Amino acid sequence: MKITTKAFDHEIQCPTCDFNYTHIKRADIQDGHDNSWHGIGGYRGDVAVIKMYCENGHLFNINIGEHKGNCFISLEPKGDISDL
Ligand SMILES: [Zn+2]
């Protein structure tokens, strides 16, 4: 997938319920040390993790991970807000 430079080309939907009313909680960088130490998605390199939630109460992450010279993006369901 090629991500465009236009701001509104790629709307994010919740991976659990597909609702498009989503919000950003915070973002972190997890060091992979070329050995998948963070345990996120099998990526060997560092991963940028954007923590999100949808207005139906589902938590999920957007992960941008490095792996052998390439970067990949994926959504990871993380349960419900009521689980916190
Ligand atoms: Zn949802």
pLDDT at 16 over 80: yes
In a domain, 3, yes or no: no
Here the tokens at position 41 are 């998605």
Residues spanned by the domain of 47: 31-78
In a domain, 6, yes or no: no
Distance (Å) from CA 76 to ligand 1 centroid: 12
Distance (Å) from CA 13 to ligand 1 centroid: 8
Distance (Å) from CA 56 to ligand 1 centroid: 5
In a domain, 8, yes or no: no
Separation CA 82–CA 79 (nearest Å): 8
Distance (Å) from CA 68 to ligand 1 centroid: 32
pLDDT 10s digits, 19-72: 999 999 999 999 988 887 788 888 889 999 999 999 999 999 999 999 989 999
Residue 19: per-residue pLDDT: 98
In a domain, 39, yes or no: yes
Strand ranges in 11-69 using DSSP code E only, listed in sequence order: 22-30, 47-54, 58-67
Separation CA 41–CA 77 (nearest Å): 12
Distance (Å) from CA 48 to ligand 1 centroid: 21
What total of structural domains would you count in the chain? 1
Residue 9: per-residue pLDDT: 93
In a domain, 18, yes or no: no
In a domain, 13, yes or no: no
> pLDDT: is 21 or 3 the higher one?
21
Residue 43: per-residue pLDDT: 87
